Amino acid sequence: MQLSYPCIKYDYVGDKDAFADNIHFTTSKRYTVTIIDEDPDSKLPEKLTKLSYVSSDRNYDVDGLSHFVFTLYYSGPRIKEETNNEQTEMGSDRGSEV
């Protein structure tokens, strides 16, 4: 595979779960994002850090290419899950309309 620069390489690392009151609250996917550029003063890392839930890990040079490594968390769009409580509430609302 031949890459052209600048380029962005990313790897899925795993999930990060968050809990509140001993209940699973959310899951975020964790990625390692590497920007590779011939320009050591690349503007791409600055643009990436403007995203939410991104942190810089390290920078290094290999064979004249600058590597900027970040960790990014992504939880995706919220999906409302129906529970028995919601169905019960909807049923009681209908009953009050009659």
Domains, the chain: 7-78 (3.30.2000.30)
pLDDT at position 39: 96
- Give 10-59 pLDDT, tens digit per residue: 999 998 888 888 888 888 899 999 999 999 999 999 999 999 899 999 99
36 and 63 in contact (C-beta within 8 Å)?
no
**Confidence category of residue 82, pLDDT binned at 50, 70, 90:** very low
Residues with Cβ within 8 Å of 75's Cβ and at least 6 positions away in sequence, in order, are 26, 27, 28, 29
**Confidence category of residue 84, pLDDT binned at 50, 70, 90:** very low
Q: In what order do the strands lie in the sheet with 54-62?
A: 7-20, 23-37, 65-74, 54-62
For residue 45, the tally of other CB atoms under 10 A from its CB is: 19
Phi, psi angle pair for 97, to nearest 5°: -80, -20
**3-class SS of residue 54:** strand
Can you tell me the distance from the alpha carbon of 29 to that of 4, in angstroms, rounded to the nearest whole number?
A: 27
19 and 29 in contact (C-beta within 8 Å)?
no
**Confidence category of residue 75, pLDDT binned at 50, 70, 90:** confident
